Structure 1
Amino acid sequence: MLIKTTPLGGSAVIELQLLEDDRGFFARAFARDDFAEAGLEPTIENCNISFNHRRGTLRGLHFQSEPHAEAKTIRCVRGAIYDVIVDLRPESPTYLRHFGTELSADNRLAMYVPENFAHGYLTLTDDTETMYQVSANHAPAAEGGLRWDDPALDIDWPVEVELVSAKDARWPLLSVESALDR
């Protein structure tokens, strides 16, 4: 696998290196030592699957606050998504900046989301499925979120958002003072 850093320090896009023959291909999607060498959190506490029926479904932007912050690696295994991360580290030079890229079953890319980043995605096709590897167990008391349509973030989603959970629609608009204090 190739681990390519993004403009937001500590995050990465992971590209598979396919070993192909007449049968198809083999590729390593995760290697603890490679992650650690690249400065990425190699711990996996759980693995989750998310399925979405409709194009235009938005999930996020979610995060967990300290001491339950989590790193995630997201891969789209069916269909396509536009995956977005937001840097929530106040000391970072890229604080509140975002990065987005398409992850799809066809391009086989994955997004590595470091601790103290918000994460969300928008489905680009019907019947989309994603798989997450997560470094920490879910802690409901540490859960937080940012509004997907917050003008302060100015995220240019590539297709119209048609379906958002009530919970995700209720996150307050961003206030620099309170982004991580929820």
Structure 2
Amino acid sequence: MRAPIGPFDNAVPAPDCLADLVPPVAGAVGGRAGHVPAEQILYVDTDPEIADTSAFVAHYGQELLGQSANCVVVAAKRGGEVTLAACLVPSAGRIDVNGAVRRHLGARKVSFAPMETAVERTGMEYGGITPLGLPDGWPLLVDAAVADMPYVLVGSGRRRGKLIAPGKLFAELPGAEVIEGLAL
């Protein structure tokens, strides 16, 4: 099947390839309930060597920059307590960590979570972290522009492969809050 965005001719409904996904993502896809059915989440096989945004769009097409989003794990600190959260922002933008994210999480300081922490806590590979299958109780801050996209390309939980899903899916994930201006 041809993907609705990008040059991908072999898109597969994610429920049909759960073995290609890391366990937390496979569990989220397999147990999907909501307005966007799991069959509308597509998996495309991609080269893990070019998983980072700039290399990815250079290879697969610059138009994907405006059709993709990055999921970033942040550590919010307040009063000696650290809260991990995920933020989903358009790949063409920058996350407003010290403004919108800090204010929304009510933190004194917010920084990008260390790579080891993000990988260990999500059960996903660095460079492939996705909002599908995040740990229970984590806030998921979704930039409104992502939720409004007809289709969004995001990580699959691994560096190999990407997921394509309607933007509105991300607004209905557990812990999701749609925020205007999350990205600069």
User: Normalization by structure 1: what TM-score?
Assistant: 0.26
Between structures 1 and 2, the one with greater strand share: 1
Bigger-Rg structure (1/2): 1
User: Normalization by structure 2: what TM-score?
Assistant: 0.26
